[in-house]
Amino acid sequence: MKLTTSLPIMFVLVLTIGLFPVSGTSRYSPLPGDHFSYTETIDVGNGAGYYGGYTDHTDVTGSEVMNSVFQNGTVASYYSFSWNFGDNSGTTKNGGSSGNFTWSSLNFLYVHGTDNQTGYTNPYVWFYVDNSTLKGNSFTLLDTLMTVQSTNYGFFLPSENRYVNTIFAQGSAGYARNDAYGHYNAAYTWSTYFDPLTGFIVGYVWDEHDSNNAGDSFTYTEKLSVTSTSYPLQTGTAPPSFLQYLVFILAIVIVLVIIIVIVAVLIARRRRRVKLPKHAYEQQYAPPPPSLVPAPSIDLTPKQPPVQQIVIKEVVKVKCKYCGALIDSTVQSCPMCGAPRT
């Protein structure tokens, strides 16, 4: 999270976290004795230009205890933390801080003092949110606007080696860094995880990229998770991995393809069942309706061919007077000798 103190080469610990709780849950009011302990790692790397090849690492352990809760919602609390720093050049440092402060459980603002949060104007606490806030709603942690992404997100808790159910909120912003690292423009994304039953912190991840106009840059990452709490944490489920997302998307694509194929087959079958209109020449010879068909006529005429009459003529033969040949009595001369018949 954003650090604006001037501690030598080490970022003053600014614990940052916040998120809204689960829908359908009644709002929790802090009680005396509520507390949590945490571990945090801070890593600087991926440098370019002046910070090319540079890395450093910080380990932080701390705790926060709610000692008293007043009728107006003010909570008297105590914080403490210690840190150990080392970079790739062999430099090591250590330190810590502790003290009392108060904050309001009604509007979530620090009232008197803070748990070592510097560089802010009227900041909101980072470790507590309204646990009844719904998904999609927004709120502020320190000076970062956060939006609830999920009210039942599985956050892996290293101290218990299991996933716990959390409210997941996220916010992105930027600021001008001016500390031992120099003057840089910082852009960050803050992912925070809170207990859905109480609204107290479970963990967070702060991803930041710092750069300047000279081409110098580095990344700054904080990861925090609780190690013990006065509030029980419910077991959650692991969020889907990238491979699971890929398989899920592939399954959706396959289902869509199957649906498209089925629809295409049904449309094709329907088109095949539709009768095509008859051609014109077929309509011309279509039989008339039964009511328009004329009654058949009855023909009693015999279908046998007519009887042919054969006429037989008798021709009288006579002998020719000159040659004796038989000739028709009707001829005028003998066809044999040419003599006249008479």
Confidence of residue 63 (pLDDT cuts 50, 70, 90): very high
Could you tell me if residue 303 is inside a domain?
no
What gap in Å lies between CA 58 and CA 94, rounded to an integer?
9
**Quick check: is 288 in a domain?**
no
In a domain, 30, yes or no: no
Which 3 state secondary structure label does DSSP give 14?
Answer: coil
Based on the structure, what is the number of domains in the chain?
1
Mean pLDDT of 164-169: 98
* Residue 256 in domain: no
Residue 167: its H or E element: strand 162-179
Q: How far apart (Å, rounded) are the C-alpha atoms in residues 74 and 23? A: 25
Q: What is the pLDDT of residues 232-246, one digit of tens each?
A: 999 999 987 655 556
In this predicted model, which residue has the larger pLDDT, 251 or 310? 251
Residue range 102-111: mean pLDDT, rounded: 98
Paired tokens of 46: 């991926």
Residue reference for tokens 């068909």: 293
Contact 148, 18 (CB under 8 A): no
Domain-embedded: residue 124: yes
Residue 164 and residue 171 in contact, taking contact as beta carbons nearer than 8 Å? no
Candidate from 83-87, 149-153, 165-169, 255-259 with smallest mean pLDDT: 255-259
Predicted local confidence at residue 20, as pLDDT: 38
Contacts of 87 (CB under 8 A, 6+ apart): 9, 54, 55, 56, 57
Q: Residue 317 falls within a domain, yes or no? A: no
Domain of residue 126 covers 35-239
Give phi and psi for 105, each to the nearest 5. -85, 0
Q: Is the pLDDT of residue 10 over 70?
A: no
Global pTM reads: 0.67
d(CA 250, CA 34) in angstroms, rounded, equals 46
Cite the DSSP H helix spans in the chain. Answer: 242-273, 280-284
- Rounded distance between C-alpha atoms, residue 128 and residue 195, angstroms: 9
What Å distances lie between residue 61 and 42, 280, 311, CA to CA? 12, 95, 149
Residues 6+ apart with CB under 8 A from 9: 56, 85, 87, 91, 93, 180, 181
Residue 294, pLDDT score: 60
CA dihedral over 105, 108, 111, 117, signed as positive or negative: positive
Nearest Cα neighbor of 63 from 110, 108, 106, 98 is 98
For residues 233 and 164, is the Cβ–Cβ distance under 8 A? yes
Q: What is the pLDDT of residues 173-197, one digit of tens each?
A: 999 999 999 999 999 999 999 999 9
CA atoms within 13 A on the CB side of 131: 20
Q: What is the mean pLDDT of residues 69-78?
A: 97
Residue 3 lies in a domain: no
Q: Quick one: pLDDT at residue 47?
A: 97
In a domain, 262, yes or no: no
pLDDT at 23: 45
What is the pLDDT, as a whole number, of residue 333? 82
